[in-house]
Chain A
Amino acid sequence: MISVKNLGYTYMIGTPFEKTALKNISFEVAEGEVLAIAGHTGSGKSTLIQLVAGLIDLTGGSIEIDGLKVTDKKIRRLIGIVFQYPEQQLFEETVESDIAFAPKNFGLSEEEISARVNEAMRQVGLSDELKKVSPFELSGGQRRRVAIAGILALKPKYLILDEPTAGLDPLAKENLLSEIFGAIKKSGVTIILVSHNMDDIARFADRVIVLAHGEILFNGKPRDLFAREEILTCAGLEPPPVTKLIHALGIDKIVLTLDEAEKIISKP
């Protein structure tokens, strides 16, 4: 379990550039859950996940992961983080060595590394033939999968995904969301999904936290969030297109997917 208590964060304390990025943040993430964190640019999402992953030092409050303080180096083995546009960080000559890079730094044996690379490639749906190919020859969607596999090879218990579908074409997006992340979720990994794509959140998240100006505006089910337009407006967000469509049709129901929309209209 991840437990965040009274977290605050101020950048450049004691300088004229001092800026409060987070205030009074408390929440928990249960094992096996998919928690979405939504908010517009500058809402504090990125600062929050960097704190949870132990990448920047706390300036107030506490974060515990499985009972360990976030400052404990052991948490590095528990948390994996996939940054925005992770494919821009690929650098090795082959897909295989890129995915193996982080496990190597963990000091694992050759056999273990090779097994983890195979497993990670399978999880993200990359075929074996791609192992010896340069990541730079792959499509954008495939490169993103390589980058995600590189994190999965660390076998994180908690996986943070920062805008994982941004910039992908609709098909690549759909594959990543429904197949790959779906399977990762099923395997029991706890996922924190940072996104401003409400459609992704509606379809994939169990719970959503909305951040605005560094504070939590909402913490609950996506369906309950979309019923509260004032929160979305205040956070600079929008309900998913299908939710808006059903409203525009004059139907007073919160709908998260096209399947639900179809059912509601066809059953009088």
Chain B
Amino acid sequence: MKNFIRAENISYTYKSTNGDRLALNGVSLSIAAGEFVAIIGTNGSGKSTLAKHFNGLLLPTEGKIFVDGLDTADEKNLQHVRENVGMVFQNPDSEIVAAIVEDDVAFGLENLGIAPEKIRERVDLALDDVNMSDYKNFAPSKLSGGQKQRIAIAGVIAMRTKVIVFDEPTAMLDPQGRREIISLVKRLHAQGLTIIYITHFMEEAAAAQRVIVMEKGKIIRDDTPREIFTDVKEMKRLGFDVPVAADLAYRLRRKGFKLPQKILTAEELAEALK
């Protein structure tokens, strides 16, 4: 499959009067069109900094990053890059700009100079995609966190980008809101969108096809969720959780239970314990 995003040895340094901080240190990766990639890492590991490179919000201090073959550091490429890569952040309250839901979803489109009837159509479809059509005339302030986040996602869907980068979209949501968002993300992936999903919740990362683990500005693992999360000892050493079935299987193996190495889900553990 075609590599849609390609980072070549990128580094990024935050400059400050109190000294510089190297947030990314020689990161290389490729993400193919249609992939669902989760990025995990501790606070300060560089994952959000990396995410902001995918649509040119940040430009690497060293190295190059190409989106759809275009160098993000070249200013004339930026519009194309941003039309292809949308971002959804952690706090829905800081993403919502309009007083009415449908105006908020239309905001990005209006800035692209699209004809009003086309905007109408795209906004309606996007709201339908996130199951929020009934709320199109609501004030966003009247919505729950999960609903607000769905509105923010509808705004990106309406832009028809090929890639959506989610930076901890469920961190501020309750369990209901988290379920809504993760099932929506899976559905968008099934529709063919490329998903880059940053999270602290390992169960969410386990839903991806591929997991990238970051530590101190570097990629230290890049593999399937099964390979990553069944390496329980190593993940714990790095300060991560693993899905609870993998954790229990690991503990039981230590107690002498003969269980397969790669158990990740409750169903697999149930089968193995029969």
Q: Which residues from chain A sit less than 8 Å from chain B, CB to CB?
A: 40-42, 134, 137, 139-141, 166-172, 196, 198, 236-238, 241-242, 244-245, 248-250, 258, 261-262, 265-266
Tell whether, in the assembled complex, residue A262 and residue B240 are in contact, meaning their CB atoms are under 8 Å apart: no
Tell whether, in the assembled complex, residue B244 and residue A40 are in contact, meaning their CB atoms are under 8 Å apart: no
Most buried by A among B41, B146, B251, B269: B251
1/0 per residue, CB under 8 A from A, across B216-257: the answer is 000000000000000000000001110111011001100101
Residues on the B chain within 8 Å of A245, using CB: 244-245, 248, 266, 269
Would you call B9 an interface residue if the criterion is a C-beta within 8 Å of the partner chain's C-beta atoms? no
- Count CB-based A-B contacts (< 8 Å): 90
Residues on the A chain within 8 Å of B146, using CB: 41
Tell whether, in the assembled complex, residue B43 and residue A140 are in contact, meaning their CB atoms are under 8 Å apart: yes
CA distance A248 to B245 in the complex (A): 10
CA distance A196 to B255 in the complex (A): 33
14 residue pairs of the A-B complex, CB under 8 angstroms, read A137-B18, A139-B44, A141-B43, A167-B168, A167-B172, A170-B239, A171-B239, A198-B175, A242-B248, A245-B248, A245-B266, A261-B251, A262-B252, A262-B255
CA distance A237 to B173 in the complex (A): 12
Q: Which residues from chain B sit less than 8 Å from chain A, CB to CB?
A: 16, 18, 41-44, 90, 144-146, 168, 171-177, 200, 202-203, 239-241, 243-245, 247-248, 251-252, 255, 257, 266-267, 269-270, 273
Most buried by B among A41, A171, A238, A242: A41
Residues on the A chain within 8 Å of B270, using CB: 248-250
CA distance A250 to B172 in the complex (A): 32
Q: A168-B43, A241-B203, A249-B270 given. 7 additional CB < 8 A pairs? A: A40-B144, A137-B18, A168-B200, A169-B42, A241-B244, A245-B244, A258-B251
Tell whether, in the assembled complex, residue B43 and residue A266 are in contact, meaning their CB atoms are under 8 Å apart: no
Nearest CB to that of B168 among chain A residues? A167
Tell whether, in the assembled complex, residue B248 and residue A258 are in contact, meaning their CB atoms are under 8 Å apart: yes
Say which residue of A167, A238, A249, A262 sits within 8 Å of B171 (CB atoms).
Answer: A167
Tell whether, in the assembled complex, residue B175 and residue A40 are in contact, meaning their CB atoms are under 8 Å apart: yes
Residues on the A chain within 8 Å of B252, using CB: 262, 265-266
Tell whether, in the assembled complex, residue A236 and residue B244 are in contact, meaning their CB atoms are under 8 Å apart: no
Nearest CB to that of A196 among chain B residues? B174
Residues on the A chain within 8 Å of B168, using CB: 167
CA distance A249 to B248 in the complex (A): 11
CA distance A197 to B39 in the complex (A): 22
Say which residue of B171, B174, B248, B251 sits within 8 Å of A41 (CB atoms).
Answer: B174
Q: Given the known A-B contacts A249-B269, A249-B273, are A171 and B245 also in contact in the complex, defined by CB atoms under 8 Å?
A: no
Residues on the B chain within 8 Å of A169, using CB: 41-43, 200, 239
Tell whether, in the assembled complex, residue B43 and residue A265 are in contact, meaning their CB atoms are under 8 Å apart: no
Minimum-distance CB pairs A-B, first 4: A171-B239, A248-B266, A140-B43, A241-B244
Tell whether, in the assembled complex, residue B202 and residue A262 are in contact, meaning their CB atoms are under 8 Å apart: no
Q: How far apart are B34's CB and chain A's nearest CB, in angstroms?
A: 29
CA distance A155 to B273 in the complex (A): 50
CA distance A56 to B144 in the complex (A): 22
Q: How far apart are B166's CB and chain A's nearest CB, in angstroms?
A: 14
CA distance A42 to B146 in the complex (A): 12
Q: How far apart are B221's CB and chain A's nearest CB, in angstroms?
A: 15
Tell whether, in the assembled complex, residue A41 and residue B239 are in contact, meaning their CB atoms are under 8 Å apart: no
CA distance A55 to B267 in the complex (A): 48
Tell whether, in the assembled complex, residue A258 and residue B244 are in contact, meaning their CB atoms are under 8 Å apart: yes
Q: How far apart are B135's CB and chain A's nearest CB, in angstroms?
A: 15
Nearest CB to that of A259 among chain B residues? B251
Residues on the B chain within 8 Å of A41, using CB: 144-146, 173-174, 176-177
Q: How far apart are A239's CB and chain B's nearest CB, in angstroms?
A: 10
Residues on the A chain within 8 Å of B177, using CB: 40-41
CA distance A10 to B145 in the complex (A): 21
Q: How far apart are A166's CB and chain B's nearest CB, in angstroms?
A: 6
Say which residue of A134, A166, A265 sits within 8 Å of B273 (CB atoms).
Answer: A265
CA distance A181 to B239 in the complex (A): 19
Residues on the A chain within 8 Å of B269, using CB: 245, 249
CA distance A251 to B176 in the complex (A): 26
Residues on the A chain within 8 Å of B42, using CB: 169, 171-172
Tell whether, in the assembled complex, residue B171 and residue A166 are in contact, meaning their CB atoms are under 8 Å apart: yes
